[in-house]
Amino acid sequence: MAAAQMTPEASSAVSTATSLYRPNIFARWLPIELSDMVVDCLDDLDDGETLKTSCLVSKAWRQRIQPVLFEIVVVTFSKEKPISLILGFMEKIRPDLFQYTCSVKIRAMASESHDTVSRVGTLRKRVLARMLSAMPRLQELDIEDVRWVPDIEKESSELYHTSRYSLECLTLEDVRFGSSTRGLGEAFSHEQELNSLLSLFRRIDILDIYDPHFPGKDAQSLAYATLRETMDGLAFPAGIAKPPTELRLRNDSCNGPLPLYIMLYNSHWRMIETLEVSVMGRDIGLAIEDILRDIGEQLKVLKFDFYGDTIASVDAEFYAPALSPCESLYRLEITVMLGNPALFRDGSTMLRLIAKLLKTAPGSLRQLFIALDITTEEGKEPPLVAPSEDWTDLDAALKHLTQRNQGLVMGFLMTSTLPSFGSPVPVPVQQMLLQELKLNLPRGLEKGFKYSFTPDANPLDVLGG
């Protein structure tokens, strides 16, 4: 399906172009018979009648194609070419085009400045609100690589009083917080800035926060001991009638996930049914354990991403939170990124970590999915995850789990990341590794343990639905 690409130029004019945004969805072509009929009809007309008929056909095509072209919109802007140019196009030239929009991606492009702060485009709350007001059917909003700036409350309270929107999915990727002031030099807190964005919406089904930037509050500088002291800083925005049922907190570069975990302590977040988190340090693992004690009752799906290069050589017990509070947990997905398991260090630690998780899994668990990604050298076979003796703990945990949880379905996915590509590729089938897995599985479970070597496999496909 095509998406409208909008990029502000130096002048007030805005150029639009279409590009293939979802390659698996294509607009339907007119039947060839209809095209032949139009051509045959034009053959019998003179020049004037042909022109009139062509204009009529073009007008009909234009009216019918607009809902398709503007169903998905990508907005690109920068510091030098601000997003206000886009607003002028939307509000003054053709506001009706965006009534068909269901999905929007707002992305800031880096400017030519060498200043790492100023090179990121700024997105203000009032600007986003004006843009959303032109899209009554919007269901998905993706904001990427912008510096978020809230508005002074007394200037914006009337503007947003009746302008709250409902979304199926809100994705915030590489959004920068913590650079705004209230007008008299008083700075907004990081929590207040995030709240100012969420307060635009009265309903968000899925909230996906990826690599947020909180200056001065990264995973290394914010100690676990300060969590309880600051956990009340982020309250659920007033006016939202329905909190998210799925929350994804992901990060690749330790830019500060802990302030986001703090929000989960608020009682309004206890309706979350699906939680996805990245675990990159001891403090985060301990914080998640506290979170599960508070919100675990409602959780049905729990997804963990563990990074081996940050956890290797440290006792896995510091990182694996107890799952026992999750009394309704139905599906558990564990993804492990192994940095360099050549010496079995990362892999052995991760096996112990997974075993500890499984030992505390509740009796309600019915689906278990384990994915391993190994960084390997190009042209070489990936090394074994761990020597056979290190599978003992996992073997015991699997036996206990399968004996207690009748009907448990399990899936296993293995990929390998080549440094030159930076993305997972299928791992060649390693008979030794597969044999290790089979030997260490509880008796009778071999038939139920499925293998997949597809890099982007859906866990549900591997699990069988």
Give per-residue pLDDT as tens, 361-413: 998 998 888 877 766 555 555 555 555 666 677 778 887 888 888 878 777 66
User: Each residue of 318-332: pLDDT tens digit?
Assistant: 567 788 888 889 999
Compute the average pLDDT of residues 239-247. Answer: 64
CA dihedral 118, 122, 124, 130 (to 10 degrees): 150
Distance CA(420)–CA(377), nearest Å, equals: 9
What are φ and ψ of residue 76, in 5° steps? -120, 130
Q: 143 pLDDT band (50/70/90 cuts)?
A: very high
pLDDT > 90? residue 141: yes
pTM: 0.67
For residues 144 and 209, give the distance between their C-alpha atoms in angstroms, rounded to a whole number. Answer: 10
As a whole number of angstroms, the distance between CA 456 and CA 454 comes to: 6
Q: Give CA 95 to chain center in angstroms.
A: 30
3-state SS string for 365-413: CCEEEEEEEEECCCCCCCCCCCCHHHHHHHHHHHHHHHHHCCCCEEEEE
Asked if pLDDT for residue 82 goes beyond 60, the answer is yes
Q: Does the pLDDT at position 292 exceed 70?
A: yes
The answer to whether 308 and 339 have CB atoms below 8 angstroms apart is yes
Secondary structure (3-state) at 456? coil
**Of the candidates 242, 256, 170, 175, which has an alpha carbon nearest to the alpha carbon of residue 208?**
170
pLDDT at 241 > cutoff 70: no
Q: Kindly give, in sequence order, each residue whose CB lies less than 8 Å from that of residue 235, ignoring residues fewer than 6 positions away.
A: 195, 266, 268
The span from the CA of 283 to the CA of 348, in Å, is 21
Q: What is the CA radius of gyration of the chain?
A: 26
Q: Residue 72: pLDDT band by 50, 70, 90 thresholds? A: confident
Dist CA 249 CA 303 (whole Å): 10
